[in-house]
Amino acid sequence: MNGYHNVNSISALAQQQSQQNRVKVGVRNWQNGSVQDLMNFLSRNTRIAMTDANVEGPLVTGYVQNRTDADALMRWNGIRFAGQNLKIEILEDSNGGTSNTIMLLKNFLYRRYNAQAKMLDLGNLHADPDLVQKGLFSSISTQSKMFPALMKLASKEPQMVVESINLSDNNLKDVSGITTLAQSFPNLKNLCLANNQIARFRSLEVWKNKFKDLRELLMTNNPITNDKLYRSEMLRLFPKLVILDSVIVRDEQKLNVIYSLPMKLQQFFFETNDLGSSSTDFVANFLNFWDSDRTQLLPLYTPQSQFSLSVDSSMPPSSVADSDQNPSFGYYLSSSRNISKVSSEKSIQQRLSLGPETINNAFKSIPRTKHHIQDRPNEYSMQVISYPQVNGFIITLHGFFEETEKPEVDAYNKSNGPTRTRRFNHGHNTSNNRLSKKSFDRTWVIVPTGNGVVIASDLLAIRPFTSAAWVLESQQPVTNTSSISNSSGVNPAANTPPFASPVPGAIGTAGAPTAGALGTPVIQPNNPAMPLNGGAVPQIAPTLQLPPDVQSRLNPVQLELLNKLHLETKLNAEYTYILAEQSGWNYEVAIKGFQSSLNNLPREAFIQ
Amino acid sequence: MSRYSSGSTNTGSNHSQITELFVKKILAHLDDTDPQKLNQFLTLFNPNNGKIVFNAAPFANLSLFLQTWQTQVVQTQHALTAIDYHVIPGSQTLICNVNCKVRFDESGRDKMGLDATVQQNQQQQNRNRPASRPLWGTYFGVSLQLVIDERIFANDMNGVVSAFNYNMVYKPDDSLMRIL
């Protein structure tokens, strides 16, 4: 009976428990303020409580509640306090977690990481007292394991954004011990290998076609630099290298022109502003019915309307993210009207569906689908242009769908397909009919009528699933240190979701299958001769002066957004643009980002 | 509406071959590095209200597009993978839905054969580069929509293209080219 029913001892136990979990941290570089100032500053900015502060030499030490808090605090490493960048380090876990090497290396990494410069300093590791003391240089074998371990750990720390690595003064004879650098940091921009003993090109060959963004390389004081071919070899290995040993070797501007398209890929284009909402409505409603009940769509097709599908069975390269390298097109091939593959003119004619009845049959022979235009709008891209020859519009949608069920009517058993019976007699197997995700490009020619639209032409191209080209890699969260919008304020997923609005009520329910089912006037008859760059451009505030080359790259929707942001924030043209770009051209996100970083903006950011 | 509903759907026998050839011709023009041939390309487009949209950005006019393409885009190679088309009755036009792949010369040289290397000294400058071959990167996916006048079926190619909507739909991770 050690009195465990005593309330006091329970709270003592709890306290003991929390004492056990707490983690000791240290802060350096706090010279220009008092300890109390520092504590206030940290708790204000980080929202992490640090207790029992104590000055130990150049260090202020204290405790945070647990490992999670300690890790969170580490993310603020490099934050500016009274004119200095604070160095924050984890000193020890009271529960003895530091004894394990991973923790040691992790702490080491954070000590060597400068968040503001996005730089990981791994220079002169032999002289690091901690590493030496822990015996990591005691033998060659531990030494050779340490580099890859460090790289792996560093690449796994999401808050560690590394653009520069310093590996100088490490007695490296070749790069064999650090080859994994290329896997850990493929987008590294600056690398310093100075003061090592690297003598041969051969060892660098493993980095060929890696480090495609490497801009600066420092190799001074390596024997290799004396080689006659040194410069040309380095240029060959690193295609985007601009500065080699502090000398400019490539014209960066020219390099950018060569390796980037002047027409940057965007997700949406609408020839006129009002086309945007009506065509997104049309597409959202159309796909909703396409996924639920295709017969509801038939009133949109006239006896002259045409539908056909074409299969692009060409395999995307394996280096395309998420690409389906084993696609199955079994349900589509028999009706594919890909005229670069189908040679028989008779088949080409047969595979064109004309009028609602034939189109309905074609629809029935295509697998049931689920599109994700509402919940994953980023994965769809759309262009809308006028089609004056029919007084209508062309809507093109790129994206993906999931196949949910096999077709209502199996094309192989179709009684009205006289030419189809023989071909599939041999070697036909069911794996061709596996249901999977597909990517597609669909083009509708639509003609507004009095109270709705008709579809004059509907062209569907089916291809193997891939992730979309317009989706930014940087749509994963990125720690932004010096930017306008504070990283936590921006939700990258909230990037221009024009489809995010729910489908209007007129749809969804058992709406009368009339041409007006897609909502009253879905597409307003519009002046089809509207010039692409002319009248559609919104009025721009005179204080928003964009360089002509920038302005010419923007579509009217973007210009309008810039204008709105500019007027709202009073930021100057440059900052308005940066803000818009960082927010993924989303007004709400931009304003939120602006408000959260208002205090950090320089005076010159605003209209003077 | 009246224009649209009049006329009949023409499914002539060799129309698909002509359409395919014409699309191939357009892709071949894009791949051409000879600035002299630009003018020939220009003649295919409707000079009055031809529309160019490239990667969801409009171009004010065709010559601006071709100039940008010629001076700021490295050599390309297009490969047609799928094509389908509808002749829209009453409009005297057809609409094409095209899929193709494109890869870029990633050797670091532009269409004129110039690279970004800063010349180190006279000796290197004088060294004549051998006629350099392109170093093709990995394929990108492209979706292309075209509005073409029916006149191509009568072998008339003057100003027949009135809309050109070119968009990249997938990109490889291992390319040096930036499209975003």
Q: What pLDDT is recorded for position A19?
A: 66
Q: Is the dihedral of CA A591, A595, A600, A603 positive or negative?
A: positive
Most A CBs within 10 A among B59, B80, B143, B176, hence the mutation to make, goes to: B143
Nearest to A385 among B53, B117, B173 (CB): B53
Cα distance between residue A322 and residue A575, in whole Å: 35
Which pLDDT value is given to residue B99? 98
Write down the ipTM of this complex: 0.90
Q: Is residue A468 part of a domain?
A: no
Closest CA to A364 of A309, A318, A324: A309
* A203–chain B Cβ distance below 8 A for any pair: no
Q: Domain range for residue A380?
A: 268-411+435-463
**A252 and A127 assigned to the same domain:** yes
**Which residue among B73, B84, B180 places its CB closest to the CB of A461?**
B84
pLDDT higher than 90, residue A460: yes
Q: Do A43 and A105 share a domain, yes or no?
A: no
pLDDT tier for residue A86 given thresholds of 50, 70 and 90: confident
DSSP string, A442-458: EEEEEEE-SSSEEEEEE
Tokens standing for A248? 């400019």
CA distances from A193 to A123, A142, A216, A552 (A): 9, 21, 11, 42
Name every chain A residue with its beta carbon within 8 A of the beta carbon of B46: none
Start-end of H helices in A261-407: 273-292, 330-333, 345-350, 355-364
Domain annotation covers residue A427: no
Q: Check if the beta carbon of residue B96 is closer than 8 Å to that of residue B148.
A: yes
CB contact under 8 A, A304 and B4: yes
The span from the CA of A376 to the CA of B178, in Å, is: 24
The arithmetic mean of pLDDT across residues A89-95, rounded, is: 65
For the domain covering B11-109+133-170, report its CATH number: 3.10.450.50
Q: How far is Cα B106 from Cα B136, in angstroms, rounded to an integer?
A: 6
Pick the residue of A441, A444, A451 with the most B CBs within 10 A to test the interface with B by mutation.
A441
| Domain ranges across chain B | 11-109+133-170
Instruction: List the single range of A330-334, A448-452, B67-71 with lowest mean pLDDT.
Output: A448-452
Tokens coding A137: 């240089």
Q: In what order do the strands lie in the sheet with A247-248?
A: A113-114, A119-121, A164-166, A190-192, A216-218, A243-244, A247-248
Q: How, if at all, do strands A23-28 and A113-114 pair?
A: unpaired
CATH number at residue A592: 1.10.8.10
Backbone angles phi, psi at A351, to 5 degrees: -85, 5
Distance CA B48, CA A245 (A): 54
Whether A55 is in a domain gets the answer yes
**Contacting residues for A12 by C-beta, under 8 A, at least 6 apart:** none
Tokens for A357?
Answer: 């009845």
Can you give the pLDDT at residue B89?
Answer: 93
Top pLDDT among A61 and A368 is at A368
**Domain annotation covers residue A515:** no
**Same-domain pairing of A243 and A122:** yes
What is the mean pLDDT of the segment spanning A483-505?
A: 40
Structural domain ending residue among the three candidates A90, A108, A130: A90
Q: What number is the average pLDDT over the span A68-90?
A: 83
Q: Are A81 and A184 in a shared domain?
A: no
Specify the pLDDT at position A398.
97
Q: Which of residues 21-40 of B touch A (CB under 8 A)?
A: none
Q: What is the pLDDT of residue B8?
A: 41
What is the residue type of A456?
A: A
Could you say which of B56, B89, B165 has the minimum Cβ distance to residue A265?
B56
Question: At A119, which CATH number?
Answer: 3.80.10.10
Give the chain B residue whose CA is nearest to the CA of A471: B180
Residue A96 has pLDDT above 60, yes or no: no
Quote the pLDDT of residue A415: 45
What is residue B129's predicted lDDT score, i.e. its pLDDT?
Answer: 55
Average pLDDT over residues B69-98: 95
Note whether B170 contacts A533, CB cutoff 8 Å. no
Q: What is the nearest CA distance from B133 to chain A, expressed in angstroms?
A: 15
Determine whether the interchain pair B172/A317 forms a contact, defined as Cβ–Cβ distance below 8 Å.
yes
Rounded to the nearest angstrom, the gap between the alpha carbon of residue B123 and the centroid of all alpha carbons in its chain is 39
Yes or no: say if A33 and A81 are a contact pair by the CB < 8 Å rule. yes
Answer yes or no: do A443 and B95 touch at CB < 8 A.
yes
How far is residue A378 CA from its own chain's centroid?
A: 10
Q: Quote the CA–CA distance of A333 and A437 in Å, as a whole number.
A: 16
The reply to whether residue A264 touches residue B55, judged by beta carbons under 8 angstroms, is: yes
Does residue A191 sit in the same domain as residue A227?
A: yes
Count of structural domains within chain A = 4
Q: Tokens representing A128?
A: 């690091």
Q: What is the pLDDT of residue A578?
A: 82
Enumerate the residues of chain B whose CB falls inside 8 A of the CB of residue A463: 82, 99, 141
Residue A151 falls inside a structural domain: yes
Q: Give pLDDT tens digits for A369-413.
A: 999 999 999 999 999 999 999 999 999 999 999 999 989 887 555
pLDDT surpasses 60 at B10? no
Kindly state whether B88 is in contact with chain A, defined as any CB-CB distance less than 8 angstroms: yes
Domain stops at, among A443, A463, A483 = A463
Residue A468 has pLDDT above 90, yes or no: yes
Q: Which amino acid is at A585?
A: W
Q: Is B16 on the interface with A (CB under 8 A)?
A: yes
Higher pLDDT, A301 or A70: A301
Residue A537: pLDDT band by 50, 70, 90 thresholds? very low
Q: What percent of chain A has pLDDT over 90?
A: 36
Res A61 pLDDT > 90: no
CB pair distance less than 8 Å for A381 and B99: no
Contacts of A263 in chain B (CB under 8 A): 54-55, 57, 68
Neighbours of A290 (CB within 10 A): 21
Mean pLDDT across A235-256: 94
Contact list in B for residue A317 (CB cut-off 8 A) is: 138-139, 172, 174
Contact between chains at B116 and A258 (C-beta distance less than 8 A): yes
pLDDT tier at A203, thresholds 50, 70, 90: confident
Contact state of B81 with A396 under an 8 Å Cβ cutoff: no
| CA distance to partner chain A, nearest, from residue B76 (Å) | 12
Q: Is A329 domain-assigned?
A: yes
Among chain B residues, CA nearest to A346: B13
Instruction: Please check the confidence at residue A485 and state whether its pLDDT lies above 50.
Output: no
> Quick one: which of A390, A454, A301, A353 has its CA closest to B90?
A390
Question: Are residues A85 and A116 located together in one domain of the fold?
Answer: no
A541 located within any domain:
no
Specify the CATH number for the domain of residue A374. Answer: 3.10.450.50
Which residue in B has a C-alpha nearest to residue A257's C-alpha?
Answer: B72
Please tell me which residue, A299 or A12, carries the higher pLDDT value: A299
B-chain residues within 8 Å CB-CB of A385? 51, 53, 163, 165
Residue A337 CA: distances (Å) to CA of A198, A333, A362, B96: 59, 9, 12, 12
pLDDT by residue (tens digit) across A262-316?
999 999 999 888 888 889 999 999 999 999 999 999 999 999 999 999 999 999 9
Same domain membership, residue A279 and residue A238: no
Query: Is residue A227 located within the same domain as residue A329?
Result: no
Q: What is the mean pLDDT of residues A16-22?
A: 67
If we measure between CA atoms, which residue out of A550, A471, A396 comes closest to residue B164?
A396
* Across A153-173, average pLDDT: 87
- 3-state helix/strand/coil string of chain B: CHHHHCCCCCCCCCHHHHHHHHHHHHHHHHHCCCHHHHHHHHCCECCCCCEEEECCEEECCHHHHHHHHHHHCCCEEEEEEEEEEEEECCCCEEEEEEEEEEEEECCCECCCCCECECCCCHHHHHCCCCCCCCCECCCEEEEEEEEEEHHHHHCCCCCCEEEEEEEEEECECCCCCECC
Query: Is A311 in a helix, a strand, or coil?
Result: strand
In this structure, are residues B176 and B105 in contact, taking their beta carbons and an 8 Å threshold?
A: no
List the structure tokens of A179: 């080859």
Residue A271 to residue B58, Cβ atoms within 8 A: yes
Q: Which of A605, A576, A597, A555 is nearest to A275 (CA)?
A: A555
Give me the mean pLDDT over the A18-41 stretch: 80
Mean pLDDT confidence for A206-216: 90
Q: Would the CB atoms of A445 and B86 count as touching at under 8 Å?
A: yes
Domain final residue pick, A219, A238, A259: A259
More confident residue, A152 or A444: A444
Please give the mean pLDDT across all residues of chain B: 87
The answer to whether position A531 is within a domain reads no
Q: Which residues contact A139 (CB under 8 A, 6 or more apart)?
A: none
| Identity of the residue numbered B81 | T
Give yes or no for a contact between B83 and B97, defined as CB atoms under 8 angstroms apart. yes
Q: A111 CB contacts (<8 Å, ≥6 apart)?
A: A87, A89
Interface check A341 vs B, CB under 8 A: yes
Residue type, position A322, single letter: D
Q: Is the pTM of this model over 0.90?
A: no
Confidence of residue A71 (pLDDT cuts 50, 70, 90): confident
Residue B82 has pLDDT above 90, yes or no: yes
Q: Write out pLDDT tens, residues B16-45.
A: 999 999 999 999 999 999 888 888 889 999
CA distance B170 to chain A (A): 4
**pLDDT above 70 (res B121):** no
Residue A331 distance to chain B (closest CA, Å): 17
A533 to chain B: closest CA residue: B60
Q: What is the dihedral of CA A65, A70, A72, A76, to 10 degrees?
A: 120
String of b and e for B99-112 (b: at least 16 CB within 10 Å)?
bbbbbbbbbbbbbe
Residues 410-469, chain A: which have Cβ within 8 Å of B?
439, 441, 443, 445, 447, 449, 456-457, 459-461, 463, 466-469
Band of residue A43 on the pLDDT scale cut at 50, 70, 90: confident
A72: CATH: 3.30.70.330
The angle at the Cα of A240, spanning A477 to B131, to the nearest 5 degrees, equals 145
Contact (CB<8Å) B14/A339: no
Instruction: Flag if A314 and B117 touch (Cβ within 8 Å).
Output: no
Domain shared by A110 and A207, yes or no: yes
Contact across the interface for B55 and A312, Cβ inside 8 Å: no
Burial of B121 (0-12, 13-18, 19+ CB in 10 A): exposed
Mean pLDDT of all residues belonging to chain A:
79
* Minimum-distance CB partner of A445 among B1, B95, B178: B95
The sign one gets for the Cα dihedral B56, B61, B66, B71 is: negative
Chain B within 8 Å of A387 (Cβ-Cβ)? yes
**Residue B27 structure tokens:** 């892709």
